[in-house]
Each structure stands twice: as C-alpha cells, then as structure tokens.
Structure 1
Amino acid sequence: MSDSRLGVADAAGSAADRAALEQVRGLLLGEDRARLIALQQRLEDPERPVAELAGALSDAVRLRAEDERFIAALQRPVDQCIQHSVERNPQGLADALFPVMGPAIRRAISEALKGIVQSINQAVEHSISVKGLRWRIEAWRSGTSFAEVVLKNTLLYRVDAAYLIHNDTGLLIEHALAETQTTLKDEDAMSAMLTAIQDFIQDSFTGANEGLESVEIGGRSLWVLRGPKATLACVITGMPPRSLREQLADTLRDLHLSYRKQFEAFDGDKSPFAGVEPLLQDCLTLAYRESSEDKARVSWLPWLLVGLLLVSGLGWLGWTQYLWDQRLDAARSRLEQAPGLVVVNWRPSGGRRVLLLADPLAESPAVVMADAEVAAWLDLQTRPYLSADAPILLQRLRQQLAPPATVTLNLSGAVLHVDGQAPEAWIQGLSALQVLPLGVDRMDLSALNREATDLLARVQAAIDPPTGVELTLDAAVLSLTGVASWDWINGLAESVAELPGLVGCDNQRLVVAELRQAEAIVQDLNGMLFAFGESNKLLPDAGPRLDQAAAQISELLALQQTVPFGLEIDVIGFSDQTGTERWRAWLRERRAEQVIRQLGERGVPTAILHPLPGPGFEPSDDLAAVAEQAQLRVQLQPVPLPPCWVR
C-alpha cells in the first residue's frame, strides 16, 4: 500500500517539473521559440514551398527578363518543350502559326512573281526592238553586258543597300543588300566612314542639328536620314523621286517606335535587333523609266486587245458556222444517195424543214444522216412512195418470194437471177408464177439447183463409188476423197456429165490405188545395196537380193501398164580409196554396169536402168566396207489425175 502511494507521489512531482520547465522555456526564448516552431512546420510541409514559389515566379521572370544568363538558362528547356509539343501535336503548332505564316508566304510569292514578270517583260521588250539592237551595239562597243546597258537606260532608280547605324556609338546595327549587289561588301567600314563624315560636318559648320543628307558618288547617291537614336543610310542608283525619301523616313520612324529601348541600351550586341532586317529589305525598292513609246503603246494597246478579241470572236463564229454547214451538206448527201429516199425540198428559205419521199422498206432518214444533232435540228417530213431502187426492189422480192436461206436473189437491170439450192416444191412454185413481181421483166433460173440431199443420192447412183470413197456436195459441187482404182477415176467424168443440178466436180483429193502400191514397192527398192569383192565381182550373197529387186521391178512394170507413171531406176556404183582417181572412177562405173547386166539377165528391161558413178569423194577408213557396193535409186514420175468435170 505504501509503494503505490509512493508511485503516485513521484508521478505528480514529474508533471509539476515539466510544467515548470515549460514556463522557464517560455520566459527565456519568448517569440523566438514560436518562430522556430513555425519554421519547423514549414520545412515539414512539402506543399507550402511550392505554393510560395508559384506566387513569386512571375515576378522573378519579369525582373530577370533582360538578363542574358537567365535567357540562356531558359533556352534549352523552352526548345525541348517546343520540340516535344511538335512531336506530340504538330497540328496545334501549325494552327497557331497559320495566321502569321500564311500572309508572309503569300506576300513573298507575290513579290517574287512580280519581279520575275517585270524582268521578263523588260527583256522581251528590249531584245526584239530597234532600241534593243542599239543597246546591244553599245554593250559590244563598251565591253559591258547587255543587261547592264539595259539597266542603265531603263532604270529610274534602285536602292542597292540600306544601313542602320547607331548614333551614339557609330556602330552598324543591321544592313540589307539587293540580290544583284556585289560591290558593297564592307558594311562596318561604310558605317564608320559615314559617322566620321557626320561628326566632321557637325564640328565644322554651324547648326549642330543639321547633318549630311545626301552624297553623290559616281553614278550613285547616298541618302542619310538621321533619327533621334539611329541613322538610316541608303545607297541608291539612278534618280530617285522625293517620295522615296518620305518612304525611307517612315521606315526610320517605325524602327524608332519598335526598338526605342533597344536603341537606348545598345552596347554592340545586335541580337535584340533580329527583326530589323525585313524592314530594311522593304527599303530596297526599284522603279523603271517609262519611255514615250510605252506611253504611246498604253494608249492603243487596249484597242488592239479589243480588236483582237473581236476578230477572234468573229473568226470563231464563222468557223463554227462553216463546220455546221459542212455537217448539213454531208447529211443531205447521205439522204440523196440512200436507196428508197428522195429529197423533194431541202430547207426552203434557209429554214429547217426538209421534205422527203420514203419507201416503207427504206432506212430511217435520221439513221441515214448518221448525225443525231443535225437530225434533231432539222424538221424532217416524209411522204410514202414505192421506190424502184435495186436494193429496195430486192428487199420487196425477198418478202414476196420468201426464198430459203440457200437461195440468193440478184437484179441485173430488170432481170432477176436466182442462184443456189432450193426444195423441189419451191422451185416448181417459182416456175409457175403467172405475173412477175413489180420491177422484174424476166427471171433467170439457170443457176438454181435442187437441194443437195436429192442430188447426192442421184450422184451416188450414177457413179457407184467404191468402198472407201466419200462424196460431199457444197453448193452443187461434188467433192471426192479416198482411194480408188485408176480405171474408176478415169471414167468419172463420163458418169457425172449428164447429172442435172450438178455444177462441178473435184477429184484432186482422190488417191490412185495402183500408184499407192507402186510407191510402197519403190520405198523397198530405194537404197537396196549389192556387195562387191575385189574389182567388179559381186559377192555370193548379192544373188538373192538381185532376185528380189528383179521381182519388184517386174511388179512396177505391171502396174505401169494400168497407171501411166514414168519409171526410172539409177544404179550407183561406189569404191574405196585404193588406187588412182581414174582407177576408182572406172571401178564405180563397172560395178554399176555389172548390177544392170545381172538384172537384165533376170528379165528386167535394161532401158529403164541407168548406170551412175558414185560421188567423187572417198569414204574414210572405217567405212571402207560400205564403199565396196552398188545401190539402186528408183524414181516415179508424177501422174496427174484425169478431170472429172468436162462441160
């Protein structure tokens, strides 16, 4: 119990001690302790410094805007931000720059085109005129270019260069040169010399506010326009008007309004004046002299253009009317030539009405003209009539007679020619006509034949073709193909001569049976060889081959009794290369004669056998055995087939 009381007493004493300690701290530290607590809370809160920095950032940027180190520090982050923005959304940057870039691009293109057009006009006008020839002679004599002579004679003035010079320091701020200017190069020397001259004038003459305004330097003028902070100096070629000085003064005034602070703070650094050069470029103007010829041309040029337009318009109207009249004439010509149409009245009093006589079978006038626009423009009026033109008569005859597709009708004057094949009933009906059609005085039916089916049957019965021969009829012409004997082919003409309705016969595709047999025998005989030993002695095995050759030649002679083909047999002798050339030639001839003699002994007429020495060249050693032979060569003369159609 005593221990618990002792613990409560100790706790009460500690609380009293802490309270006393806090009271002592308050007396000793006072307000500093409160500030330390506030500082600790500020450090421990991460959002509070960010909010304070955001409130002071705009003021800090405004105060350090002119500091080059601040600008350099911001340059890289800004570049990266812009690059990132372009990569992420290029369209947004393009939309933002569009109001600025569009007018600038249009202005640049317009100025460039105007300059090009003006230069071309100047070159053309002065190249093909008398004045241009004089200037070319002057350029040749003076040794200068033609362009320089033209410029000297036509240029009123041209601003070659513009310099903006700081008054207090005499330093060159910016300059601009014309594109054709190549002689004004040392800009700093120009500004220094101009400043020295200005100082000299102000120091040497009274009126300190009055300075140098212009200087004549050869063919050029130097205009000096002095402002409160800067001076604009322009190098000018030619005779500039007074209005140009006012224009330059306006430019200098705009420069002072736009760059007043930069002029006051200028210490040689040109970076604040990055936008000055375009304004100086606007000062580089030029103007050409207007000659009396140009003034005179201005007076009549519009009238010339009006006259040319008027003549062109009249010419176009005349050409258009000419083409239209040509189309009308072509349409009328087609109507007059078309069968079944008669032009009675063509556009009386130059109007559109056209009166025609038209057969019911004639083609439509609009189709005949082959020009839909002309046909629609004309007022076509037709009256019916029956035409006697041959094409219309033939159409009418086809309608009346209704011939089959195998029959053709032709008119020769008033004679109707009927050709082809037709059924027997139609031919009988045509022959029985009592009244001839209109426009026909006589009919010619000599070329009209019965249909092929009937005619073919009569032909087969008349000629009795052997097996293997085919007959075809084409327009009443008989064609034969196959293999037949010579006697049947020879008697064909007599068999078909009296067949009615047949107009021709073609047997050229027939093959003679005897001739085919003879050609097979000739194929066996050709190249048949007979071997020899020494000199012109036949070897024993040549006997059977000679017997075979004699039997086949006898068959050919028997066939020749039927078919008059010409039979010729050459016997060719060969030799090896032994002996002299004369000996070899004699040996070849003897061997051929030996074969002929042997065939003659076997019943072959020697009149159809002809010895023929072999070729003059000798075979090689490996073909020596072949050289000791004789060979047969059989020829049949072609036999023409007898005609099968004789009328």
Structure 2
Amino acid sequence: MSTEPKPADSLQQLKELMMGDEQRAIAELRARLDTLDADSVERLAEELVAALRHRRENGEESFEELVAALQPGTESAIQRSVTEDKSRLSKALFPIMGPAIRNYVLDLFRGMVKDLNETIRDTTSAERIKWRFQAKLAGKSYSEYVLLRTRSFHIDEVYLMQRDTGLLLLYAARNPDQEAREEADLVSSMFTAIHNFVRDSFGKGEAGDDEEDVSELDGFTFGEREVLIEVGPAMVLAAVSHGVPPGSVREELKGVLEILHGELGGRLDHFSGDTALLESGRPALRRALLESRKEESGGGGLWRAWVFLGVIAAAVAIFWAIGFREQKRWDRFEASLRAEPGYAVTEVEPDGWWRKRLVRGIRDPLAKEPAALVGESGIEAEKVRFEFTPMASLEPDFVAKRDAPSEAWQTRILDTLGEVKALAESAATSGETKVLSQHLAGLQEQLEETRRADETKSRLLVRSLIESQFAGTAGLKVAVSEAGDRLVLSGELEPEDLVRVRAQLEPLAGLIEIDASGLGENSSARWLQWRNDLEALAIPFADGSMRANDERQIDEIVGLMQKLDSVSSLPPKFEVLAHPLIGANRQANRAIEQSRAESVKSRLVERGIDASRLLPVLSEDLERAGEGVMIRVIEPGGAADR
C-alpha cells in the first residue's frame, strides 16, 4: 500500500504553511464578532458614565453638542412613553418629587396661616373699621372697597393643563415675551403636584374607599400672589394673580375654561403630546388675563358724602343739645309744679309740634297761677297748655285762706249785731229784748249753716274730682270718707291698670289720706296667660330622642308650672299629652308615644314637679301627628277637653 499523501492534504498543508497566521487571526476576529452583540450592552453600561464624564471634562461646547444630539431622541422617547401609558412617567417621578412637594406645601401653608393671622388682626383694627363704614357710604361691599383701597387686581399668567396627567397644554402671560420661557412646564408640574397632594392628603374621609373623591383644590396663596384653580372635565385652568380678586373673577375663569373645552375637547381625545395642535385655543386662554385697575381719586363723590355726613352729624348734635336743654327745663318745671301747694298733676303729654306740652290735673283757685310758674322756669308760655279742674285743697294754708273772708264777715256781722243788741236793750222793753235776742240767734245759726254747706260742697267737689280720675278702670272700687279727708281704693286690676292707678295716686298723696292696701293684680288673667303659654310649648323629638333644645323647653315648662302654682288656690294637675307619630302602624307607634310621654314626665319629676300631678296620655288626633309631646292643664275642677 502506498503511503504517499493525497494531493488535497498536501494542498491544505501548503495553505497552513503559507497563510496559517492570517487564518488564525481571521478566526479570532470572527469569534469576537459573534460575541460582540451580547457583550456590547454590558460594556456600554459600564463605560457610558465614564464616557459622558470624559466628554464633560473636554469642554462645555463639546458637551452641549452631545446634549443637542441626544435631545430629539430623548423627547421622542418621552412622548411615546406618555402616549402609551400616561401614568408611567408620573409614577417614575413621584419618589423624586414627593419630598420636594411636601416641603413646598408646608412652606405654602405656613404662609397661608401667617396671612390669615394678619387678616384676623387687621379686621378689628381702626383702619379696617373705617373702611367698612366708608364702604357703606360708597354703596360697595367691603371686599370690593378693600380692593379699591389696597391694590389693583390683575392676572399675570395662565396655565392650561390636562387634568389626568397634569401636562401643560397652553401657557399665556400678560407679557407675550414671557410665553416662550422654559419654566412654564416646571411650574405647571408643580401646580399639578400640589393639586394632587392636597386632594390625596385631605380629600380622604369625605368619600369611601370605593367612591370617587370629587373634592378639588380651588386655589392657594404664596406671598402677594394667589393661584386661582378651576377644574373641568378634561382640563385644569390655573391663574396666577396679584391683589384681591373680585367675586366675579371665578365665574369669568369658568367661562374661559368652558370655551376651551368646546374648542379643544375633541383634540384631547387623540392628543399625542404635540401642543402645536392646540395653539388655536391661545386667544381664548388670553381672555383669562383679567385686570381690575385701582380707581383714581379724581374728585370722586366720597368727600361729598363725608361733608354731607358731617353736616348731618352737626345738625343732629345741635338738635340734641337744644332738645336736652329743653327737656331739662321741662323737668324742672314739672317738678316745681308738682311740688307747688294746691296742684295735683295727673298727666303731661305732647301737644302739637316741637315740644309743646299739655298739662292736666286739679288745682285750688287760691294756688299760684300756672303762667307765673311757666315764666319762672324759662319756658315760653305758648309751648304749654293747662287743663286744670278746680278743687278745694284741704291743706291748712288754703283752708285758712278760704275761711278767712267768711270768718271776718261773720265777725263783723256779730259785732254789729252785738252793738245793735246793746242799743236795743238800753231803749227797749224786756219783751222786745227777748225777741231781738231770738232774731240774733237765728242769724248766727244761718251763718253757721252757710259755713257747713260750703265745707260740704268742697268735700263733694273733691270726691267727684277724685272719682273722675279713676272712672273706667275695670275692677277698681273708689270710696271717699264722709269728711272728705280719706280715699280708700280696692279691687283686683290688670297689671297695666294697677301700674297706672298707682301713678295717678302719687300727686294726690299731699291732698288727701290714701288707703290702697286693697289693690292687687287680677290673678285669673295671669293664670290664663301662663296656661296658654304652657300649652303652646311642645317637645318635638325631631330625631327620635331628646335634644339640647328640648331640655331648654323642659326648663321653660317647669317655670310656667311653678307660676301657675303661685296663683292657684289648688295646685293644678297636668296631662303629658303625646301626639301620634306619622305612619299607619298605630299599634307599634303607641308604644313609642307612651315611651316619649314617660320620658318627659321623668324629666319634669327630676326638676321638682310632683309625679302624682302628671298624667301621661296618648292622643288619637291624627291631624296633629308628628307634633311631639305637649303639656295640658287639668283645672282643679276637672279635666280640660281634648
């Protein structure tokens, strides 16, 4: 057998001798290429940080070129991520934004509390009180007037955000140059984060776990700015304002938000992140940049109001001073008139316009003229009118003055008769002297009868005048002694009549002895009034049990019961009357009604009412169903009709 090598094997050996190194190098390169795809991701992850740091160290311009190159791809990736799953980005940012948002909200609420404290402090200051008064004069509400006095109101920035994701859709500023700034996205994100934080933190508890929480944050304040938030079905409008917003601002913002929903609502259903498609809504958004300028002080009407108010205040002060001085004069005159002997003033009332007075009473003709008393007090005579009924005063001075002329006349007559008698006795016979003495005795007796008749007439006049003062008072009995020096009054009067009669007796105390021990109030009228008040009260059991207001009703009922006891000859008994409950099931309702009546009875007993005087009763009057429990009085003679 031949052992010579085959031509193919020889050729292979020749290739290895000539190209062996190159073939091994190619095989190694092929192996590296085969493992390159598997190792590239791990090596890139290990070397990317070092590469970026190296690029940053090479210079700012070189790094910015890298950022510019990466930006389009990064933005496209984020937009696609948001389009596919809107909650993914929010969940990824939550661990980072959470602590920052909490710190921001805490600072925000500290500022809000500080502003609230300042507002409370300023509300009671003299300046704020003056503003409230000026707002009334100007015909404006207090909040509007504070706005005019403090600062103008204007909205500088408006953010329109998608409700579900919080992404900024449109942004408008009062200065159009600011609308291109990059911070708008960050600010809108902060607004959304704060809004969600407040809703998640403070909205819990108002709705159940399976119910949708509908509470929303409607605004917050930081520094001198206030953010007004209006929430719609698909979009949220946030307006950054300066000053105190009028009450109509929120309605206008709601109107703008409704317009934007109408214009952009359809586009949001297929929104992929391209805000250029929403630019048509910018004019409507700019309508939310509201403004309310401070009123200029160009000779407005407020100073006229102050002048007018000052004139009125001066006129009122002058009128009050004149009236006060006039009233003091009247008080002095009335006091002097009541103290003047021979007068009894029963009534002083206005008579006509501008403090004219009518004075009524009784007067002794021998008393000082009232016109003289008016002149002494400094009151004009035409401002007072008198209606005095004549009377004979029993004061010693007036009795002496009244009797002095009669006594002097009688003395002169008696002296003359004595002289005539002496002359007649010296010239007449004994029989003639006897006849003359009889005639003189008759004249003396006639004089005495005349004096007694005058006294009787004076007493009758005093009696008629006194009786006329109290005529028409129901239940009042008036009696004057035969001598006319003592007045006795008795009877049970209504409370207002008793007060009036006692006031009329005061000026008569100096003219006649008065006995008013028999006067008293009409207890039957008071008893009826208190009974009606008691039966008008009810304990409604509004929510099926006794409430605080019902306890106060119980206290009032006990007070009226005690008043009835004070004027009753026999303590009355009471029905604790339970009206029917509303409903057709009378059998079951009666047990509840009985329980309510017993509950009211027990509370009355706790407050000192004897249990034997309380009778629980169930009413069957369905027309009064639902009126609760009331108290009815059983008079000592029998039960009240039900």
TM-score range, shorter chain: under 0.3
Q: Judging by fraction of residues, say which structure has more helix.
A: 2
Q: TM-score, normalised by structure 1?
A: 0.22
Structure of higher CA gyration radius = 1
